[in-house]
Amino acid sequence: MIKIVSLAWSKKKGTRKQCVDDVMLEENHGVRGDAHAGDWHRQVSFLAAESIEGVRQKGLDISFGDFAENIATEGIDWKAVPVGTRYKLGDAAVVEITQIGKVCHTKCAIYYQAGDCIMPKEGTFARVITGGRIKCGDTIEPMHETSG
């Protein structure tokens, strides 16, 4: 089972995000109030809690939101998910994976604060197909296409 273990947002890009109990995903926009939301393909970011824990094990003092991820999850290797895959988050929200990893042109504040950044290699990005409120503890379910 895939579940949401952390939700976070920030008003500015390139900074750590503040953890919250729930967020509103807005259709074709992203997390309400988040600096990365907008009309583009990286409206929401995902990172596996297992990846964050791996960085902790290397001795870095980091927590959820420190890599500027919106949604941290347990139970899925986001790097292995094909672009175009859709997931239902919580009761109603639906996202479509648009990008795995990203290019960092400069080292952002996160890199200097945390000592490393795993988002370029392990961050996964999506656009919001159907909006809805999601909260920590919600499940994430892959949506299976039906042929017809």
Along the chain (148 residues), what's the average pLDDT of each consecutive run of 10 residues? 97 89 98 96 96 84 87 95 97 96 61 62 93 98 71
pLDDT (0 to 100) of residue 139: 98
Global confidence as pTM: 0.88
Handedness of CA 47, 123, 46, 108 (dihedral sign): positive
Element (H, E) at 123: none
CA 116 → CA 34, 35, 77, 110, distances in Å? Answer: 22, 21, 20, 8
pLDDT (0 to 100) of residue 80: 92
Are β-strands 71-74 and 30-31 bridged in parallel, bridged antiparallel, or unpaired?
unpaired
For the chain, give every domain's residue range: 2-141
pLDDT (0 to 100) of residue 147: 47
2-141 belongs to CATH 2.102.10.10: no
pLDDT (0 to 100) of residue 84: 97
pLDDT (0 to 100) of residue 111: 59
Interacting residues of 73 by C-beta distance below 8 A, sequence separation 6+: 2, 3, 4, 5, 46, 47, 48, 49, 140
Are β-strands 2-9 and 18-20 bridged in parallel, bridged antiparallel, or unpaired?
antiparallel
